[in-house]
Amino acid sequence: MKRLLVLALLLTAAAGDIHSGYDDASPETRAMQDDDSANPGFLWVREGEAQWSGKACAACHGDARVSMRGVAARYPAYDAALNRPITLDQRIAQCRTERQHAEPFTPESDAALGLSAYIGLQSRGMPLQVSTDGPMRPFYETGRTLFNTRMGQLNLSCAQCHDERAGMKLAGAVIPQGHPNGYPEYRLEWQTMGSLTRRIRNCMVGVRAEPFPPDSAEMTALALFLAARAAGLKIETPAVRP
């Protein structure tokens, strides 16, 4: 009976009691995120704003505060020409190479994180609402499988930490539910901004698994599942996390 009760509590938490990593952060970290003048992520946002104005983004899309409103909340999104979903970072790279005829940003560079953060900021406060129907469904299911697959020398899955043990502590830190609603975000442990891809790869290294390549189908499918799993949570970009 006790095991059944524990299982029921775990299933209830996984099914509906979702919350942002913001709620697990310390009051000091939350205060840093809440104050745009103290949030270090805004250093990258300003970089992104300059990129938007100076590299022809505005020439096509106009005022980002209007044209990019809600965009980050819908990614990863399906690309009919590629017949697969792509992330917002991949869309930015696509625009640079195909429309601006420029070199793509180096992954995790200030320029890449800045433009992604600036676009993400325009959706701040809006709920995540990615599509998982139609042609997106197989990719969503792949992401779900990856999330629940044990991997690495430690033989752990994403779900074992971020579903079953969310709210518990590991090395004194609260284990979050692992939602992507704040990326790119400033992490105090990194002392810099980072993407969701970097966070996932860090986790994979932590369980002693071979990380998925940044632009791999597996990474995109997992990002899609994570966004769908966090449906309804508000965009916080640029978030601040421990």
What are the residue ranges of helices labelled H in the chain? 2-15, 27-34, 41-54, 57-61, 64-67, 88-98, 110-121, 137-147, 158-162, 196-206, 217-229
**Annotation says 161 is catalytic:** no
Calpha distance 88→76 (Å, rounded): 6
- 64, HSE (Cβ side, Cα atoms, 13 Å): 22
Cβ burial of 225 (10 Å; 0-12, 13-18, 19+) is: buried
**Three-state secondary-structure class, residue 86:** strand
- The tokens describing 73, both together, are 């909340």
Query: Hey, which residues are catalytic here?
Result: 203
